[in-house]
Chains A and B, each alone.
Chain A
Amino acid sequence: MPATPVLPKLVGERVKRREDPRLIQGRGTFVDDVKIVGMQHIAFKRADIAHGRIVSIDTSAAETMDGVEAVFTGAAIAQQLGPMPIGTPFPSPPHYAVAIDMVRYAGEPVAVVVAADRYIARDAADAIIVTYETLPAVVDPELAMTGKPTVIHPDFPNNLAVALVPSGTGVSADGKTIDDSAVDRAFAEADVVISQRMFNQRLVPNAMETRGVVAHFEPGKGTMTIWSSTQNPHILRSMIAAMTGLGQDQVRAIAPDVGGGFGAKINIYPEEYVAATVSKRLGLPVKWIEDRSEAFVATTHGRDIIGYVDLAAKRDGKVLGLKLKLIADIGAYNMLLTAAIPTLTMLMANATYDIPAIRTTLTEVFTNKTPTDAYRGAGRPEATYFVERAMDMLARELGMDPAEVRRRNFIPSDRFPYQTQMGAVYDSGDYEKALDAALQKCGWEALKKERDAARAQGRLVGLGLAMYVEVCGIGPSASLPTGGWEHSQVTIERDGRISATTGASPHGQGNETTFAQMLADQFGVPMDHITILHGDTAIVKQGIGTFGSRSQAVGGTALHMAGGKVKTKMAKFAAALLEAHEDDIVFENGTISVKGAPARGKAFSEIAAFAYVPVPLPQGLEPGLSDEAFFEPTNNTYPFGCHISMLEIDRETGEPTLLKLVAVDDAGNLINPTIVDGQIHGGLAQGIGQAMIEEAVYNEDGQLLTGSFMDYAIPRAIDFPRFELLSTVTPTPVNPLGAKGVGEAGTLGSTPCIVSAAVDALSEFGVKHIDMMLRPEKLWRIINGGQA
């Protein structure tokens, strides 16, 4: 046997992303690259008012335009398509993909044009004349809760989408009995109570690739293929099948290269249902590509939640109790996960602290705005922001170092698994380790001196520190209506190469790289002999999708398990061929050999070939090398970390500049630290964006004033200092990889640590809290004696 090169172990190494060459050279395949002969193009006529009754829709001019195939009003679409389902167990008003008699947010679809090309479709949409009886709009959730000036859905008085019973300490599991005594006692015994209304503002997700869909119903076969820029093709397949009256076996959903999702591509959208419905009705393939102006109003927004925070503590900094009253502005409708997102804010109210008594309440309110749904972090950054800002206010009130007040309240590392007051069981954690690592990395004491020296020169410099813990690796099936598992199939091909499917559906996470690293190590073969297949329900038999930082923890584990099954079988073939016991078979460096006798080996590809032409077939074995696994974790994972920032505010202009950002993140075991760094960088960019420059602003009429990149800021490289990153490693026991998930982490610690730094910088003006974003004018007003 020829000598083989020694293959390095790849798991844990900084392997370059295999996806990047095609993506950065424009060689990816996105939905808009899909072209089918005879394909028609869809454009939507959308409401230009936020609230009103549709009096009439005149489609006559559009219908007679050359190249227009069909025009559908909401009523026409509703003949085939019922109200859209949601994925949460809350009551929800009927939501038709295309409005029938009322519009409830600016951007809501009111008619559909199908035409020979995009240009004709857009012209025809413009030619549709809709007359409305305009109704008052409401954009302030606290006003909407009074039922004034309008009720958006008649069956939801006072615009209350969800009015949840209190949760937390003293609330029984069924929510039926509520005992407030522990919380009341905490506040009665407190030396200090911090009370603050905080606002976690609305954001527009803005993936680089807008949404898009191609639906191709083939009348001859009775099957539907749907390409979509989605994070979860299997959920899409299920929903499209259910809503078009087809079986799941008759629908194939494909997520090709997807240019970012950030949670906003979990939802199954009106445009996807409409494309499928129209394709089936016309028997033609149809395409719809969202343009950027549409994306601002038609793709779900994120955040938009008010928190009334009360924190009770002793003078030594020990927190006794927390009250968190949440009011979420969910926009005009419930989408797939809309109602569930703020429940994650409640779930994470315990943060990293051993808080003995917590009471949360949650109200979700309809307003005349674009609906909200998941956005990177999805409920957890909001919780982190509220609690960490309150902890910082407590430190300031007590004159205590913000690190110290946190240290005094941490859940100790020997208390895991830790049952929180909110019903979560934190899997593992060592918060003090992350804090100490961050303090050391940034040189906390020296940094404080630097800040003080800058202040002595009249500069407004501040430091901010925040801890976070999030819920990831979602999760057991109890936590998701789709099921909380992931699936993988690993196949050793006849030539010895490996193909592996995953139900995770990466759209920037780099699983083609990390999963190949894992299999390369598992089978002792070169990584470039491995292809990771994803995003096509005809190839990937089952799956849930990519969200909630779950791909590695759940999908990676399914892959590892499927690989293990195939490896066991391959070892049996090898044992037969090498006349050894299967337990003595060793996979390394592209060969399969016998332990202690490396010369007694064969090339990996030879064993693979033998498995497909097994002459003679070893006893008890079927031919072939392919197997699958479903993995459902017993619990979510709870990654954590500590972020520290230094920020300077221009005394004359109020402009904030981020001088330093140190992020220590603990995502458990890391498969690829470079990809982890990339995820942290991206998350930080979005968190810093929220803290400093991003905000969706509506006027009182419900018009989005920040409806383009001219007015809605997307963070750029020049907005950031060089990020200083470090990982601590606290593996999770809930999966064999010990990996927790890292996709959202950067959005959690960054917002409170930056706002706290701004408050610190402006401490000489007596300010206690500043709502995001840190608009220069807002800071300038504080400096000049006004309030935030």
Chain B
Amino acid sequence: MITSAFDYLRATSVDDALAKLSAADGGKLLAGGHSLVPLMKLRMSEPAVLIDIARIPGLSGIRESQGAIEIGAATTHHQVATSQVLAAACPMVCEMAADIGDPQVRNRGTIGGSLAHADPAADYPAVMLALEADIQLRSARGPRTVKASEFFQGMFTVDLAPDEMIVSVRFTPVKATSYAKLHQRASHFAIVGVAAALQVESGSISAARVGVTGAGPHATRLRTVEDTLVGKAANAETASSAAAEATLTDLNSDIHASEDYRRAMIPVFTRRAIEGALARARS
């Protein structure tokens, strides 16, 4: 649990961070450090330079403007979990963040770090998918926005160039949302985690997005489920029948859960997420 030697730099602004990142050979951005530092302690990651972005002014915080919510990349899980703005407008995000890891992780870990790291079992990606969030990136070349559904590309692989950093996520809040998760009892990561965001109008579902994490190599949308939901009555029957469509072709398997079990759990947690979202639509 001793890292290799590395240099440590603290960035004072996003531009400064990007300049330091470009200048460094083998540099990594450090925010909460709760994914990166354990890997460094195991010497599975040996960056030559760490560029600390956790204290860049303005990079953390939750802002609401023009009907959208923007969460700064350096915002901790705890800040998200306890945000009044999110609790009122998009409760699923708080619910998910409050259940990440443990208090130490929630007090240090950040949304940007989680999304950039893209652990296949992380909670954030499913929720960002269900909200079809814009992942807002910056590099010396300028800003770039990637839709969540295009951001997660593979296990620990995202659409983020080596010279880019996440600065924020931005999404239109949805009230009728819910996140349902089967916990891996050691890490509290998701064996299967499903986020559902619904639009309900006059008793029927007018729009639906469902994201799943943990089950496959990367978080992904359950499009068949979404298609099945749209236009149906907002009730338990719909939740069940749509959830029954939930499946992935490429499934993870480990000591905590086999492929079979994950396959069986996807519809269960999909249904629970939809039911949760429907309950919020009624409230």
Contact = CB atoms under 8 A, between A and B. Distances in A.
A118 B2 CA distance: 8
B161 interface: no
Contact of A711 (B5, B42, B256, B258): B256
A705 B186 contact: no
Interface of A: 118-119, 122-123, 126, 291-294, 652-653, 655, 692-693, 697, 705-706, 708-714, 716, 719, 775-777, 780, 784
A585 B258 CA distance: 74
B187 A711 contact: yes
Contacts of B185: 692-693, 713, 719
A110 to B, nearest CB: 18
Given A122-B2, A126-B43, A293-B42, A777 B261 contact: yes
A706 B182 contact: no
Contact of A777 (B2, B43, B102, B258): B258
A294 B2 CA distance: 11
Contacts of B261: 776-777, 780
A693 B2 CA distance: 28
B265 interface: yes
B2 A291 contact: yes
Nearest to B2: A122
B182 A291 contact: no
B1 A655 contact: no
A693 B185 CA distance: 7
**Interface residue SS majority, chain B:** loop
B241 interface: no
A432 B265 CA distance: 44
Interface of B: 1-2, 4-5, 38, 41-43, 102, 182, 185-187, 189, 255-258, 261, 264-265, 268
A187 B41 CA distance: 57
Nearest to B191: A776
Contacts of A776: 182, 257, 261
Contacts of A122: 2
Nearest to B102: A716
B258 to A, nearest CB: 6
B186 A655 contact: no
Nearest to A780: B261
Contacts of B2: 118-119, 122, 291
Nearest to B187: A710
A74 B52 CA distance: 42
B255 A697 contact: yes
Contact of B186 (A123, A712, A777, A784): A712
A653 B42 contact: no
Nearest to A706: B255
Given A291-B2, A292-B1, A653-B265, 12 more contacts: A123-B4, A293-B41, A294-B1, A653-B182, A693-B185, A710-B187, A710-B189, A713-B185, A714-B186, A777-B256, A777-B258, A784-B264
Given A123-B4, A711-B256, A652 B268 contact: yes
Nearest to B265: A653
A119 B5 contact: yes
Given A655-B182, A780-B261, A711 B255 contact: yes
Contacts of A777: 256-258, 261
B263 to A, nearest CB: 11
Given A119-B2, A713-B185, A705 B255 contact: yes
Nearest to B261: A777
A127 to B, nearest CB: 12
A291 B1 contact: yes
Nearest to B183: A655
Contacts of B1: 291-294
A292 B189 CA distance: 20
A711 B102 CA distance: 14
Nearest to A689: B185
A589 B196 CA distance: 69
Nearest to B257: A777
A118 B182 CA distance: 39
Nearest to B186: A713
A692 B183 CA distance: 13
A40 to B, nearest CB: 16
A692 B261 CA distance: 18
A775 B185 CA distance: 9
A115 to B, nearest CB: 11
Contacts of B187: 709-711
A113 to B, nearest CB: 12
A708 B42 CA distance: 10
A118 B1 CA distance: 10
A693 B42 contact: no
Contacts of A126: 43
Contacts of A653: 182, 265, 268
A278 to B, nearest CB: 19
Contacts of B257: 776-777
Name the 8 nearest CB pairs between A and B, nearest first.
A291-B1, A713-B186, A122-B2, A777-B261, A713-B185, A693-B185, A710-B187, A652-B268
A126 B4 CA distance: 10
A780 B182 contact: no
Nearest to A709: B186
Contacts of A652: 268
Contacts of A693: 185-186
A26 to B, nearest CB: 15
B226 to A, nearest CB: 22
Contacts of B258: 777
Contacts of A780: 261, 264
A714 B101 CA distance: 13
A148 B265 CA distance: 39
A697 B187 CA distance: 16
